[in-house]
Chain A
Amino acid sequence: MATALRRAGHLVLRFSRGPCSPFMRRAGVAIILAFMALAPFVLHSYGIVILTNALLYIILALGLNIVVGYAGLLDLGYAAFFAVGAYTVGILTLNFTVDFWLTLPVAVFNAALAGVIIGGPTLRLRSDYLAIVTLGFGEIVRLCARNLSITGKATGLTGIEQPWIFGWHIDTPRDFYYVFCVLTVMAVIVSTRLAKSRLGRAWLYVRHDEDVAEAMGINRTTVKLQAYVIGAIFASIGGAFFAVNLGAISPQSFSFSQSVIILMAVILGGMGKIPGVILGALIVILGPELLRDIGQLRLLVFAIGLLAIMLFRPGGIWPGRI
């Protein structure tokens, strides 16, 4: 009896130190996937909408994690890439009646282009200057969206049509929930692969010491640009599906505050490691929703909670190995 208890105790301790064995890891992933698949039958439409929103932010946070967490580039204007994806889809489907699935490659291409344009000037800059340049670009993109007629000016674009795929019309909250589930899983897989790849290691070295990395033969320009481009692609795909989900987009959703929220999600959970980033996104989105019933003070309560988390868990709640 005593040995059984001790064994159980050991197991609990081992498990709470984080799933170590491949079996436990796979079991954990399977449980999560099962929950995600069954969620729409357990929750009603409000819950599905919120979860879909959370999934979107997980994708965005994973993308920003590549720029900030992997490559160490403090990007304060990430919402710009989000906007590029959303507006590309909106403009092409509304003004040129292009089928949604054909607009996706264009959105990805535009985002990659934006990544190069925005990343380019920052290559020589130290992190704080990089921050302000990315902030500046973020604002420039938002203001262009607000001022140009092709983006609908301040009202934005409305009446964006929901896409069809193989005869299935994706238009209910549940449909979009499943689409975002698939996207999130893809994002997680890509992020994980990237972290373990040669590029991921190159980012690690550049993040720690650019000059040493250069001395080791890593071309920091290429590596940094790749981080921006890949991060931008994540955001633009998120933006594309965001546009068709909401059916209407406006410059309000692409402000500096939005970039800050995504950054908070990355850092709060513990940047660098994927589970941490996912947790951060969930907190940032679900937190204010959970507190909705408190009424007007909910944002204050949320902010105090945020501050408390940072003070007690400075590395983020679930930090990756540095």
Chain B
Amino acid sequence: MILSDIIAQQLVNGLVLGSVYALAALGYTMIFGVIKLLNFAHGDIYMVGGFVGFMILSAISSLVGEGWIGIFCAMFLSMLAVGCFGVLIERLAYHPMLSAPRLSILITALAVSLVLQNAVLALTGGEHTAFRTDLGFDGVELGTLFITYNQIILVASAAALMIALEVFVAHTRYGRAMRAVAVDKDMCRLMGINVETIIGVTFFIGSALAAAAGTMAGAYYGSIWYFMGFLIGIKAFTAAVIGGIGSIPGAMLGGLMLGLLEAFGTQIPGIGSEWKDVFSFSVLILVLVFKPTGILGKSEQERM
């Protein structure tokens, strides 16, 4: 392969990876925005979303087939189900903790994460589950560059979801309320906004996006596993922070950046792929040294 094609190919790889990271990072950043919680269980919501999507697809595959149409149907249903599940978790585990010290709610999130992981572990016995789909592997060939249709569809779907989210946040009442709650919760209460409902909506959307990512990734890569949420959780967290936590465009940017960093980080001349994550984290740390609130993060102004 000639160099320019290799670079182009890695660009494509990075975009695909980054789209999944971005979707997961969005939920992270939104939840942080409204209740200032680093939701360690978010990665496991992604994992649950993948499993739910898989189960739904198995159930409805006779109706809609196992191609992209079937996957999208399963994805939407999974988004609904897991969105509600996310709200449930918030009501049961996080809502009572909002007045507790910040670190306690963090550990609660960790505990929720462990419960989800071990529950799925108990159900699947630790085995990877094959996410069987009927996706063809055709694509577009441009010289030695090969882009599969699946990749295009995945990136396009992720983009569509992100655009939908932007529209929601910028132009609807709920979206405006979300942004307001993220700035000053108590003021919102005074203004008559039902903060609890908004928090619930935020969790619903965040979890739904994670579920979408989980289902799409599960279908695209071909397997799901109880531990996959843990790894995605770290990546989503990293991506959200690089972009500026609390900022929605920041999460999208951070996700894409992280995907590209990982793709190109595998191929740095002279440095082997075993250093890929060191590379990604080093870039992250450098970004934060120069921009302490992330790339698109707003500098906080503390009023005395």
Interface residues of A (CB under 8 A from B): 68, 74, 121, 124-126, 128-129, 131-133, 135-137, 139-140, 143-144, 146-147, 211, 256, 260, 263-264, 267-268, 271, 296-297, 299-300, 302-304, 306-307, 310-311, 314-316, 322
Please judge, given known A-B contacts A146-B274, A297-B122, whether A304 and B292 are in contact too, CB under 8 Å: no
Q: Is the CB–CB distance between B278 and A140 below 8 Å? A: yes
Classify the interface of chain B: helix, strand, loop or mixed: helix
Which B residues are in CB contact (< 8 Å) with A302? 114
Query: Are B119 and A129 touching (Cβ within 8 A)?
Result: no
Q: Is the CB of B281 within 8 A of A128?
A: no
B122: which of A144, A146, A296 is its contact (CB, 8 Å)? A296
Question: Is the C-beta of B51 less than 8 angstroms from some C-beta in chain A?
Answer: no
Contact with A128, one of B38, B96, B110, B114 (Cβ below 8 angstroms): B38
A-B contact count (CB 8 A): 122
Residues of A within 8 A of B272 (CB): 147
A17 to chain B: closest CB distance in Å? 22
Q: Could you tell me the dominant secondary structure of chain A's interface residues?
A: helix
Contacts of A124 in B (CB 8 A): 289, 292
The CB with the most chain B CB atoms within 10 A, among A140, A147, A271, is that of A140
Residues of A with C-beta under 8 A to B32: 128
- In angstroms, Cα B115 to Cα A56, docked, is 26
Chain A residues within an 8 Å CB radius of B111: 303, 306-307, 310
- Cα distance A310–B38 when bound, in Å? 16
Contacts of B110 in A (CB 8 A): 260, 263-264, 306
Shortest distance between the CB of B30 and any CB in chain A (Å): 14
Verify B104–A314 contact, CB threshold 8 A: yes
Point out the residues of chain B lying under 8 angstroms from A300, CB to CB.
115, 118-119, 121-122
**A314 vs B96: C-alpha distance when bound (angstroms):** 9
Q: A129-B288, A139-B277 are in contact. Are A315 and B101 (CB under 8 A)?
A: yes
Complex interface: stretch among B79-87, B167-175, B189-197, B237-245: B237-245
Determine if A299 and B288 form an interchain contact, defined as CB atoms under 8 angstroms apart.
no
Instruction: Categorize the interface residue count of chain B.
Output: 35 or more
Shortest C-beta distance, B257 to chain A (Å), equals 14
Proximity string of chain B (96-134) to chain A, C-beta cutoff 8 Å, 1 when within and 0 when not: 110111011111101110110111011000000000000
Q: Which residue of B lies closest to A305 (CB)?
A: B111
B209 within 8 A of A: no
Across the interface, which residues of B come within 8 angstroms of A315, CB to CB? 100-101, 104
| CB contact under 8 A between A125 and B292, given known A140-B281, A307-B115 | yes
Asked if B275 and A303 make an inter-chain contact with CB atoms under 8 angstroms apart, the answer reads: no
> Known contacts being A126-B300, A303-B118, A304-B115, is A310 close to B234, with CB within 8 Å?
no
Q: What chain A residues lie within 8 Å of B255 (beta carbons)?
A: none
A316 to B105, CA, bound (A): 10
Q: Is the CB of A129 within 8 A of B114?
A: no
The answer to whether B241 touches A129, judged by C-beta atoms less than 8 angstroms apart, is yes
**Would you list 17 pairs from A and B whose C-beta atoms are within 8 A, ordered by A residue?**
A74-B106, A121-B289, A128-B38, A128-B245, A129-B294, A132-B241, A132-B288, A136-B281, A139-B281, A140-B281, A297-B122, A299-B118, A300-B115, A300-B122, A307-B93, A311-B97, A316-B104
How far, in angstroms, from A211 to B38 measured CA to CA in the complex? 24
With A300-B115, A310-B108 in contact, is A136–B122 under 8 Å at CB? no
B residues neighboring A (CB under 8 Å): 32, 38, 93, 96-97, 99-101, 103-108, 110-112, 114-115, 117-119, 121-122, 234, 237-238, 241, 245, 272, 274-275, 277-278, 281-282, 284-285, 288-289, 292-294, 300, 302, 304
Within the complex, the shortest CB–CB distance from A152 to chain B, in Å, comes to 14
A310 touches B238 (CB 8 A): no
Provide the bound-state CA to CA distance between A260 and B293, in Å.
24
When the two chains form their complex, are residues A129 and B293 in contact, meaning their CB atoms are under 8 A apart? Answer: yes
Partner of A307, one of B108, B285, B304: B108
Contacts of B122 on A, CB cut-off 8 Å? 296-297, 300
Chain B residues near A126: list those with CB within 8 A.
Answer: 292-293, 300
> In this complex, what residue of A is CB-closest to B271?
A147
Out of B238, B275, B302, B304, name the residue touching A132 (CB < 8 Å).
B238
A315 to B108, CA, bound (A): 11
Instruction: Tell me if B278 and A143 are in contact (CB < 8 A).
Output: yes
A314 near B97 with CB under 8 A, answer yes
Q: A303 to chain B: which residues have CB within 8 Å? A: 111, 114-115, 117-118
The smallest C-beta distance from A138 to any residue of chain B, in angstroms, reads 9
Whole-angstrom CA separation of A121 from B99 in the bound complex: 31
Knowing A306-B111, A307-B115 are in contact, say whether A267-B288 is a contact too (CB < 8 A).
Answer: no
Inter-chain contacts of B119 with A (CB < 8 A):
300
User: Is the pair A306, B245 in contact by a Cβ cutoff of 8 Å?
Assistant: no
Q: A125 and B277: CB pair below 8 A?
A: no
Question: For B99, what are the chain A residues with a Cβ–Cβ distance below 8 Å?
Answer: 314
Contact status of A147 and B245, CB under 8 A, knowing A140-B281, A296-B122, A310-B107 = no
* A240 to B: closest C-beta gap in Å: 25
A143 touches B277 (CB 8 A): yes
Complex Cα distance A322/B100, Å?
A: 12
Cross-chain contact B278 with A263 (CB below 8 angstroms): no
CA distance A286 to B114 in the complex (A): 17
Of listed B105, B241, B282, residue having the most chain A CB within 10 A: B241
- Chain B residue, CB-CB nearest to A303: B114
Find out whether the CB atom of A256 lies under 8 angstroms from the CB atom of B234.
yes
CB distance from B278 to the nearest CB of A (A): 5
* Bound-complex Cα distance A211 to B302 (A): 10
Q: In the complex, what residues of A have CB within 8 A of residue B302's CB? A: 211
Pairwise interchain contact A136-B285, C-beta atoms closer than 8 A: yes
